[in-house]
Amino acid sequence: MSVKIAPSILAADFAAFGAEIEAVEAQGADWVHVDVMDGHFVPNLTFGPDMCRALRPHIKTVMDVHLMIAPVDPYIAAFAEAGADILTAHVEAGPHIHRTLQAIRAAGCRPGVALNPGTPAEAVRPVLDLVDLVCVMTVNPGFGGQSFIESAIPKVAQLRDWGGPDLHIEIDGGVSASNARRLVDAGADVLVAGSSVFRGGSVADPAPYGENIRAIRTAATSVSV
Ligand SMILES: O=C(CO)[C@H](O)[C@H](O)COP(=O)(O)O
Ligand SMILES: [Fe+2]
C-alpha cells in the first residue's frame, strides 16, 4: 500500500479551516484528519458534526474523522450525515465496540478503531474483521504537538501481522520526518501529522506545507542503507 499523509487540522488556523484544507490538499495531502474531542473522554474540546458538515465541501480527498468521545453510538448518524468517509472510535470509549463499529458501517462510513498508547494491541484483535483502519495512538489523545511515544511502535508490526495487507494502519501523534521511516517499516501506511505539516506555513504562504509533506513522504519511502 502506498503511504498516505493525513494532516491533522488541529494544527491549522481555526479561523480559516476551509482555506487551510484547500491549501494543504493542493500541497500534497492524501487525507484530511479531523480530531473530534469532547472534554470527557479527553481533556480538550474541539468540534462536532456541524463543523464536519461545513468542512466537507472543502475536502476533495478523504475526510478521516477521529472520534475522541464517549459515548460514541449516539453521534454516529450525525457524523455520517455530515459526510465523514472514515469514522474511527476508540476501543477504550465504551464496553460494546463491536456494536459501535457495526453501526458505523451501517451508517455508510468506513469503520476505524483507535487505541491509546497504554492499550495493548490484543484489545483490538477481536474486531479487526470489522474495521478498515486501526489508528495506533503514539501520544495520549487530547492535544497536538506532544512528544512521540516510542513504546507504541511494536504494536504496529503485530497489527500488520494479524490484519493482513489490506488493513490501513494509521499512526497518530508526534509523527515527523524523523520517525516516519520506522513507522512504515513496522507496517504503517497512513501517517497523521499536525504540527510537523502546518509548521512554518499559512494560507497566505502554503509552500512550507508542501515542503513538510514531501519531507515526511521522502523519509517514509526512502530506501534503507
Ligand atoms: O489525535 C490527535 C491528538 O489527540 C491528533 O491527531 C495528533 O495529536 C496530531 O497532532 P501532532 O501531529 O501535532 O501530534
Ligand atoms: Fe487524531
- Three-state SS at 91: helix
166 catalytic? Reply is no
User: pLDDT tens digits, residue range 36-69?
Assistant: 999 999 999 999 999 999 999 999 999 999 999 9
Domain of residue 84, residue span: 4-221
Residue among 195, 194, 193, 199 nearest 220 (CA) = 193
**Sequence letter at residue 9:** I
Does ipTM top 0.90?
yes
Q: How far is the CA of 132 from the centre of ligand 1 (A)?
A: 20
| pLDDT classification of 222: cutoffs 50, 70, 90 | confident
Run of H or E residues at 212: helix 207-221
Q: How far is the CA of 51 from the centre of ligand 1 (A)?
A: 18
DSSP β-bridge partners for residue 190: 4, 170
Q: What is the arithmetic mean of pLDDT over 145-154? A: 97
Run of H or E residues at 139: none
Q: What is the DSSP letter of 119?
A: S
Residue to substitute in 35, 140, 149, 176 for testing ligand 1 pocket (most ligand atoms within 8 angstroms of CB): 35
- On the question of pLDDT at 133 being above 60, the answer is yes
Q: Which atom of ligand 1 is nearest to the CA of 146?
A: 14
35 catalytic? Reply is yes
> Which residue's CA is the closest to the ligand 1 atom numbered 8?
144
**For residue 138, what is its C-alpha cell?**
503514539
Main-chain dihedrals φ then ψ at residue 160, nearest 5 degrees: -65, -40
Question: 98 labelled as ligand-binding?
Answer: no
| pLDDT classification of 1: cutoffs 50, 70, 90 | confident
Q: What is the DSSP letter of 213?
A: H
Run of H or E residues at 25: helix 17-26
34 lines ligand 1 (CB under 6 A): no
CATH code for the domain of 131 = 3.20.20.70
User: pLDDT tens digits, residue range 67-125?
Assistant: 999 999 999 999 999 999 999 999 999 999 999 999 999 999 999 999 999 999 999 99
The number of distinct structural domains making up the chain is 1
